[in-house]
Structure 1
Amino acid sequence: MRRSLLLSIILLYTQILLAQTGNLKGYIKDTNGEPISYATVKINPGKSIMAATDGSFSFSALNSSEYTLTVSAVGFQSQELQINLGEGISRELVVTLLPTKNSLLNEVIITSRKKEQLKEEFTTAVTVVNSATMQELQAVNNNFSDILSSAVPGLGVSSGTSSNWGQTLRGRQILILVDGVSQSTPLRNGSVDMRTIDAGVIERIEVIKGANSIYGNGASGGIINYITRSNKTSDSRFAGKTDLSFSGGVVNPKGSIGGRLSQSIYGNLGKFDYTVSGSYEQTGKVRDAEGDILGPTYGLSNNQVYNTFSKLGYQINPDQRVQLSYNFFRSLEETNLQEVMGSRKNGAKTYGIEGSTPGSPPGTRWNHNAMAMYTNDKLAGKTSLSVNAYVQDFNTLFFYSTNFENGGQSIIQSSKKGIRADFNTPLLAAKKLSADLTYGLDLLSDVTSQPLLDGRIWVPKMNMLSTAPFMQVQSRLFKDLVFNGGIRYERMNIGVEDYETLKPYNAVTKTFGTSVSVKGGEIDYENLVFNSGLRYNRFNFFRPYVNFSQGFSVADLGLLLRAARVDDINKIQTEPVIINHYETGFESEFKAFRFEVSAYVSKSELGSSFVEQNGFYVIVRQPERVHGFEVSADVNLSSKINLGSSYSYVEGKRDGNNNNKFNDETDTFLGGDRITPPKYTAYLKYVPNSKFLVRADFLASSSRNRFPLTNTGVYKTYEGKVDPYQVINLSSSYRFKKSTYLKLGVENLLNADYFPARSLWPSLDQYYVKGRGMSFTLGISTQF
């Protein structure tokens, strides 16, 4: 009876406490009434923090008290409000943020695998292309390769094509993600992963630079994560946005006009929220500064692009949520252009004319992404949980090539299925010392191959199963000193069936070699990689950091298999590439000025480089060293004028005699497929009022000349001399109604006549194509 009485008292007391608590809910908007995504909301006392990814926030079970609410977002001034909650009172408010002069502090990063993490807590260089910048750059060009080239220091210049081959990050391989799901095919890297989703469904892009193992195999240079649009939270149960644009060339507009239509709808039905969108784009003929059609290899002329996207969410309660998302992307190049082959040696460009190309339309035939996510923010011990189950099916067809005997087209096929489980548990919450632990498990099945369209096997099917537990600790001492450290254990098994290599093509003699029958088997990898770093945030004008991190890559196993000259895969040098990445840098902010510097060295005891030897293409496995630095600055001259600039430099070598030195005669520079020329960028943005915006972007690629000419007067493949060039782009928008914009973008405003770096370093006539000439995009966007 005493126990029953005690239980009754406890229940009654609990009900009284619950009755005394209140809830706080709100929406974050700009001066135009638009939701601001990825804001940071803090509430004190209690020091709770949350990321308002969809422009809304809520705090439940708040005791009767006076609270300080602080709301901040990139590009906006922080706002602090005093909230007084009485017993059992719930409040709902709208917080309107004004444009800011400070855009670095309190920026929320979600790619870290932690529930939320501020940029000031990272001990490595991070770049975020926010929603506003995305929209401004998309007004000029909808190609991710071009958008990222302008916005991300350390990333190579754009190829101007549908392929990102050679557009490395800090001289190493990039892992491209969509909401944390890999779009890359590390087992056989086809370098078409940047353009596998429509830019119109992307809210923002997060770039974590340097080798890391946050998402496993393939991120030896860093991670680029496309964050899809969140479900819009508004007072409306049904809202939408329509975008319509036309584009074309200016010098010779004949046949160059294309168009794009995108429609999205979204809403909030109580606990249920949704976003659904679809887009279609038809490009015209893309022309250079002289008005000639660009060569059709990896071309962007006459492309048909389809994309559908949906995201459905259900908020079970304030702490639990279920979300389903799906995206389909297709981009195919019509085969109604014929290639007129130029000569790199004689300086004659390759261009296109009306005609036909053998084979089927090349491009991404399909890219399916589906994900189910469950989150719970209140497990035992204040632990939060995020579980993602996903599938990705990718199929891309490459252009017709005579480098195969009797000609042919290759296909990269990749099918991934995986589960990610992330836990985050606070360890300490003392006034002078705090720490939390992020840990979890990645399970991934990846089946990748590269056959020819006619059924011949070029790269056999590689069936990989990976299991990878990981753990990451973050701690703060006296609030200002941040420590990050973690480990990841990667265990892989890759099965390969028996296969026969195709006859290799000799680029010098224009003949074919002999094929080899190779016995298959299983390849096992077990690797433990770790990272650690320190950052000191005491002063805004100087926030230094140091970092060491490791990355793991299977070194494009498909290339090794297809180039095999032995009869057993056990005789192929399939050891992984382990990257040791050392970095130091600092961030500085003073009033309206921001400055960032980072310098790095990355080493691998066993690298992997594709080179030409005696006319054949082979893989060289030698130690590698890559180093470089990046500098960027931004300043708000006034509330109406913003400007900024950046400079990126990278260089790399192979250790030919394995003596751990890189200045001997036997040491060689890495080719253009790995190392990009120095890059300069600058921008100027003018916003005279709430209706009008204009932005100018300057991009310059410097020269690189590290290799000698051969006795035939040409460079070896990947060793071509790169000449400098400069391009200026212009974007503008005008709001003539509350929710309707008119947009105009001009690419290559001065009609510069140039060869992109990608056209020069391959030293192949087929790629010797000029850059896009002056072109325009005119569009209208309206919301309802």
Structure 2
Amino acid sequence: MSNAPSITLVALVCAVLNAPATLAQEAGPADTAPDAAGDTVVVTATRTVLPPNALPMTIDVIDAVTLEQQVLISGSIIDAVSALSPSFSPTRQKLSGSGETLRGRSPLYAINGIPQSTPIRDGSRDGYTIDPFFIDRVELIYGSNALQGIGATGGVVNQVTVGAPREDGFTGRILLQGTADNGFSGDGLGGKTGALVSWKTGRFDATIGGTYETRGAFYDGKGNRIGVDGTQGEVQDSESWSVFGRLGFQIDDSARLELIANRFELAGDGDYIVVPGDRTMGIPATSMRGKQPGVPPVNQVETVALSFIDDDLAGGNFVAQLFYNHSEDVFGGGTFGTFQDASIAPLGTLFDQSANRSRKYGGKFTYERTIAGGLRGTIGFDALFDRTEQVLALTDRAWVPPTEFRSLAPFGQLNLALFDETLRLSGGVRWENVQLKVDDFTTLAFYGARQVSGGSPSFDEPLLNGGVVYEPWKGIRGYVSYAEGYTVADVGRILRGITQENVEIDTFLDINPVVSNNREVGIEVDRGPITASATYFWSSSKNGSLLVLNAGGVYDVQRQRVAIKGLELNLKARTPVPGLEVSVGYAHLRGRTDSDGDDILDIDLDGANISPDRVNLSASYRDGRFSALVQGQIYLARDFQGGDPRNSFDGYTLVDAAVRYETDFGGVSLSIQNLLDRQYITYYSDTTRPTDDTLFFAGRGRTITLAWDYRF
């Protein structure tokens, strides 16, 4: 691909903003999804005010009611997304999200468009950066795209925080909930409390809230404690707290200034140690009382953003944002061979633990308006500055040296409506300019204490998109699209593993981007009681980035050609029974990679890189104050051609249920995860590390949550 698009093209579109395509699935058509006040929801992650049916991409919107229901069942945003989206992999039920993919690739997690991922040294904690209590809805954009910049090779998971109050006075919400395992074990109990208060007077409004949650040990379907991951981190046996604030000022009828801030921390209690299982016998790892050495794994995140929005600036819509994000991921420690250094302590005795520290700041703006007739254009510019390092905290050694990432990206987009909006054409380009800076550093003793000369490698890349949407009849539309997304390989893993002499970063480090090309064909029907969609996609990258387990039990980054294809089917129907809806979803994914560099796709992607095929079933009922839900996820068996046969997946089925009743003093909810108390091994544990008995984890058994919330 050329690094220098023509001046004419740059002047015309300036860079990509909307990637292709849009069909709303689980939550219904996104362009008709109303918020609490009955207004149309604008999918902010698409960075346009055009409705989703004008864009050639697959979009889901998980609204506030659905999200609250799913979070009560599972406890987290990421589990809620996984339960509703057949193309999203089953979660690990751990603090680490490594191996959790959307359409076989890593999604970009964002809060109000602010990236939460740390791609330079991916700690895989980006699914736990804000409490769900402060999230109003989740926007899912499927497939590779460059809408939000780096990282969205699988799509975007954008968490939109609660909105500003609409009327003068005080409003708020209070939440109390308790969680227990099936046996109501004393150490399995958990609880959560949260409060959010908003105040509005004239043009000014303010919101402040806080949550605290404690989680007990998790139990599997046989009543045994689930094994703890003392290195990557746990959600079980942990405490988390979060504070959220927003200040807003309505400058005039069209312009608003808003400041938001969020602080989130999830820390393990460290009260359990793992008891290895036996993979050959199908016995999962468990936990026993004991104190983990060192500091238990912790995830800390701080986010601040200042936004200015004017929906009538010179006849167009203008959005600008400045943001700051800081995260620190502390991992569990040990006397790992990698950490040993005879100059500090005798070999085999040195205990240490690592921490990822990342600081991001940047800004973005978009301006969109009608140019002429049915032609609408968008231009904008994104800037991102990221400084990330991984340190061995107890001995103050650099495992991954401080690495600075800088991205500057102008973009532009055109959308042309023809024949009374029956036909729409869209296209655009984003010109990504990236530079990486690494100072001179020395690798750990384990790698030979090599002196590495720093450098500043760079690249610039045009990222294209285009698509066609055709709606011959109201409620029936189809689309075809092409979009490019990009990320960089996990540079930190590459830097920390250098063992050669006289390495110079400028010539050693391949930071050529992972450019993933997403092609998609879809159709949607929304007529009468039926909402249905079918999407076929295929995605490829010539220089992909895969996690491959080495002989030492550590995942390395390998640059390999990757190709993924898939089919997604969704159907929702209102039944003749008033208030009863049923739905079914299906996703088929297959991924292949070139393992030996001969440009032939010779083996399947493994469980660390792609999810199993899945069928989702659900039935929901709503009648006045009462509502109920029963849902099932059927994960289908999968073998990995060319892979270790011990990693084959037998599949399993999970069923969840929830009921809610609105009283005069708030709503009372009862939810049950894994209603049938199924015993199973989690997908990631079952399909990776075939010789590691300490990371062979069962999934949660029947888990019961009772909650009361009150709004005023």
Q: Provide the residue aligned with 2:287 in structure 1.
A: 352
Q: Distance in 2 between matches of 1:261 and 1:155?
A: 29
Report the CA distance shift for 1:342/1:111 in structure 2 as closer, same or farther (over 3 A): same
- Conservation of the 8 A alpha-carbon contact between 2:490 and 2:557: no
User: Offset at 1:238?
Assistant: 1.2
Task: Answer with 236-245 or 216-225: which moved more.
Answer: 236-245
- Conservation of the 8 A alpha-carbon contact between 1:677 and 1:704: yes
Quick one: higher RCO (CA 8 Å, sep 6+), 1 or 2? 2
Q: Provide the residue aligned with 1:735 in structure 2.
A: 662
Correspondent of 2:478 among 540, 544, 549:
544
Q: Provide the residue aligned with 1:452 in structure 2.
A: 392
Q: Distance in 2 between matches of 1:613 and 1:526?
A: 32
Q: Secondary structure at the match of 2:456?
A: strand
- Conservation of the 8 A alpha-carbon contact between 1:669 and 1:706: yes
- Report which of the two structures shows the higher radius of gyration computed on alpha carbons: 1
| 1:263 and 2:206 matched | no
Show the 5 A alignment for 1:453-492: 453-454=393-394, 455-478=396-419, 479-492=421-434
| 1:396 and 2:317 matched | no
User: Offset at 1:769?
Assistant: 0.9
- Conservation of the 8 A alpha-carbon contact between 1:426 and 1:436: yes
- Conservation of the 8 A alpha-carbon contact between 1:758 and 1:767: no
Correspondent of 1:691 among 621, 625, 642:
625
User: Offset at 1:684?
Assistant: 0.8
User: Offset at 1:383?
Assistant: 2.5
TM-score, structure 2 length as denominator?
A: 0.89
Correspondent of 2:680 among 750, 754, 760:
754
Q: Distance in 1 between matches of 2:91 and 2:448?
A: 36
Give the AA of the match of 2:431.
Y
Q: Provide the residue aligned with 1:323 in structure 2.
A: 258
| 1:168 and 2:106 matched | no
Q: Secondary structure at the match of 1:167?
A: coil
- Conservation of the 8 A alpha-carbon contact between 1:560 and 1:574: no
User: Offset at 1:268?
Assistant: 1.8
Q: Secondary structure at the match of 2:74?
A: coil
Task: Name the count of aligned residue pairs.
Answer: 660
Q: Distance in 2 between matches of 1:73 and 1:306?
A: 35
Q: Provide the residue aligned with 2:33 in structure 1.
A: 74
User: Offset at 1:72?
Assistant: 8.7
- Conservation of the 8 A alpha-carbon contact between 2:606 and 2:643: no
User: Offset at 1:472?
Assistant: 1.0
Q: Distance in 1 between matches of 2:402 and 2:523?
A: 45
Q: Distance in 2 between matches of 1:425 and 1:607?
A: 37
Give the AA of the match of 1:225.
N
User: Offset at 1:659?
Assistant: 5.9
- Conservation of the 8 A alpha-carbon contact between 1:725 and 1:756: no
| CA deviations over 1:369-391 (Å, ceiling 9, x no partner) | 111111223333x1222111110
| CA deviations over 1:12-36 (Å, ceiling 9, x no partner) | xxxxxxxxxxxxxxxxxxxxxxxxx
- Conservation of the 8 A alpha-carbon contact between 2:636 and 2:650: yes
Q: Distance in 1 between matches of 2:50 and 2:578?
A: 29
| CA deviations over 1:73-128 (Å, ceiling 9, x no partner) | 5269xxxxxxxxxxxxxxxxx9879xxxxxxxx653111112x2212112011111
| 1:744 and 2:703 matched | no
| CA deviations over 1:535-579 (Å, ceiling 9, x no partner) | 112224531100001111111211221223332322233322111
- Identity across matched positions, percent: 26
- Conservation of the 8 A alpha-carbon contact between 2:607 and 2:688: yes
Show the 5 A alignment for 1:116-127: 116-127=49-60
Unpaired runs of 5+ residues, structure 2, are 1-29, 341-349
- Conservation of the 8 A alpha-carbon contact between 2:604 and 2:643: no
- Conservation of the 8 A alpha-carbon contact between 1:252 and 1:287: no
User: Offset at 1:466?
Assistant: 1.5
Q: Provide the residue aligned with 2:183 in structure 1.
A: 251
Q: Provide the residue aligned with 1:634 in structure 2.
A: 572
Q: Distance in 2 between matches of 1:95 and 1:558?
A: 46
Q: Provide the residue aligned with 1:767 in structure 2.
A: 695
| CA deviations over 1:42-82 (Å, ceiling 9, x no partner) | xxxxxxxxxxxxxxxxxxxxxxxxxxxxx995269xxxxxx
Report the CA distance shift for 1:502/1:346 in structure 2 as closer, same or farther (over 3 A): farther
Q: Secondary structure at the match of 2:221?
A: coil
User: Offset at 1:421?
Assistant: 1.3
Q: Distance in 1 between matches of 2:651 and 2:479?
A: 33
Q: Distance in 1 between matches of 2:119 and 2:514?
A: 12
Give the AA of the match of 1:291.
G
Q: Provide the residue aligned with 1:643 in structure 2.
A: 582
- Conservation of the 8 A alpha-carbon contact between 1:564 and 1:572: no
- Conservation of the 8 A alpha-carbon contact between 2:221 and 2:702: yes
User: Offset at 1:142?
Assistant: 2.0
- Conservation of the 8 A alpha-carbon contact between 1:107 and 1:119: no
User: Offset at 1:468?
Assistant: 0.7
User: Offset at 1:410?
Assistant: 1.6
Report the CA distance shift for 1:587/1:660 in structure 2 as closer, same or farther (over 3 A): farther
- Conservation of the 8 A alpha-carbon contact between 1:480 and 1:536: yes
| 1:377 and 2:311 matched | yes
Correspondent of 1:519 among 424, 439, 453:
453
Q: Secondary structure at the match of 2:494?
A: helix
User: Offset at 1:658?
Assistant: 5.3
Show the 5 A alignment for 1:309-708: 309-364=244-299, 366-380=300-314, 382-403=315-336, 404=338, 405=340, 406-429=350-373, 434-454=374-394, 455-478=396-419, 479-502=421-444, 514-540=448-474, 542-566=476-500, 567-569=503-505, 570-615=507-552, 617-637=555-575, 638-656=577-595, 661-662=600-601, 667-687=602-622, 689-707=623-641
TM-score, structure 1 length as denominator?
A: 0.81
Q: Provide the residue aligned with 1:776 in structure 2.
A: 704
Q: Distance in 2 between matches of 1:573 and 1:154?
A: 30
- Conservation of the 8 A alpha-carbon contact between 1:550 and 1:580: yes
Unpaired runs of 5+ residues, structure 1, are 1-70, 77-93, 98-105, 505-512
Q: Distance in 2 between matches of 1:219 and 1:139?
A: 28
